[in-house]
Structure 1
Amino acid sequence: MHPDTLKHKASLWFGEFGSSVHITDVYWEGDISQAELMAVADQISPDWQTIDLELDPQHPCHGQTYRLTKPWPPRADEEEALRALEMEDALEGHYVWVHCCQTVMDPEGDLLDEAGRAYRQDFSTVMFCSEFTSFDDIAQQCDENFGKGEWDEYELYLDDTLPPPVASFG
């Protein structure tokens, strides 16, 4: 039998092995890489945690058990994402001032990146005010105000936490 005519099956599961819930089965012909299979599974259900592979009965390795487990983000990334969601909930609906900056590699800079290289941050002289909805929305507004790729980071200030102005014009 030609390898491209072999029909394989993958079962998508949600939950811990042994107590998981079956989501659906996926069928395909021919070879597929693990990355391609995981991409298909993500399209069907982003909730999958395990994929059990069953090869075509005509395949020489039929009967062996193959299992893919969804790679989860490191614990620190999960905790950071949770903190970001909590912060978004706390800021939602509040007006914030947004101050963007660019990261400039500078041997005389007083900050160090993860590789130990010195850098400094150049903050824009312009800030803008917006009602907070999400961090992604603020990033999009930074692109609109300063240009895509023209800023690297931003800081948010609530109206009542802005430092007092050093001068006024009027």
Structure 2
Amino acid sequence: MHPDTMKHKASLWEGEFGTSRHITDVHWEGDITQQELAEVAEQISPDWQTVDLELDPAHPQHGQTFRLVKRPSGPSLEDEAFALSVLEAEDELEGHYVWVHCCRHIDDPEGELEDATGRTYRQLFNTIMFCVEFTTFDEIAAQCDEHFGTDGWDEYELYLDDELPEPVATYD
């Protein structure tokens, strides 16, 4: 059967699938993205929390369980706490001179660090550091873009002017 003619079904639920009120079923032909499916569910009922997907019997993944869970609207408490901590840190650093040290992440299966997805990487530090009066973290990022290019760095470290370690060597 051609993928565009496959008929799929999604069941909308108020809470967890099978443990709450069933709202309705939605049928469609062809492929649909998760975002598109969430938009359709929102149009039908803003109360939906879970969508249980049932693929056409001719689909190669028929029989597997697929569920779409509605993300909570608005920021989570964790997001709000992080945003507050960023604002507090910016207030504390504002007006101080900081040294900015940018680094780039290089994907490396033998790397000593691991990102959120489990991939290992190593850091390559740029040799140019610069000193600037701190205003915001976004402003520091914009200056990193100016110095290294938008693809030339992945993260930066800040050192207060008086906390920068003594150099181990100098070259004249």
TM-score with structure 2 setting the length: 0.57
> Structure 1: where are the runs of 5+ without partners?
1-33, 36-69
How big is the alpha-carbon RMSD for the aligned residues of Structure 1 and Structure 2? 1.7
> Is residue 91 of structure 2 the alignment partner of residue 89 of structure 1?
yes
1:66-111: CA deviation from partner (whole Å, max 9, x where unpaired): xxxx921121111111100000000000000000011111011111
SS of structure 1 residue aligned to 2:75: coil
Matches within 5 A, 1:127-142: 127-142=129-144
How far 1:169 moved relative to its partner? 3.0
The partner residue of 1:157 within 150, 156, 159 is 159
SS of structure 2 residue aligned to 1:90: helix
Match of 2:108 in 1: 106
Matches within 5 A, 1:12-161: 71-161=73-163
1:134-156: CA deviation from partner (whole Å, max 9, x where unpaired): 00110110011111121110000
- Provide runs of 4+ in structure 1 moved above 3 Å: none
Letter in 2 for 1:143: D
CA distance in 2, matches of 1:107, 1:74: 34
Letter in 2 for 1:167: A
CA distance in 2, matches of 1:77, 1:149: 26
State, as a whole percentage, how many aligned pairs show the same letter: 62
SS of structure 2 residue aligned to 1:71: coil
SS of structure 2 residue aligned to 1:116: coil
CA distance in 2, matches of 1:118, 1:74: 28
CA distance in 2, matches of 1:97, 1:108: 30
> Structure 2: where are the runs of 5+ without partners?
1-37, 40-71
CA distance in 2, matches of 1:141, 1:151: 11
Match of 1:27 in 2: none
CA distance in 2, matches of 1:103, 1:82: 27
SS of structure 2 residue aligned to 1:93: coil
CA distance in 2, matches of 1:139, 1:126: 15
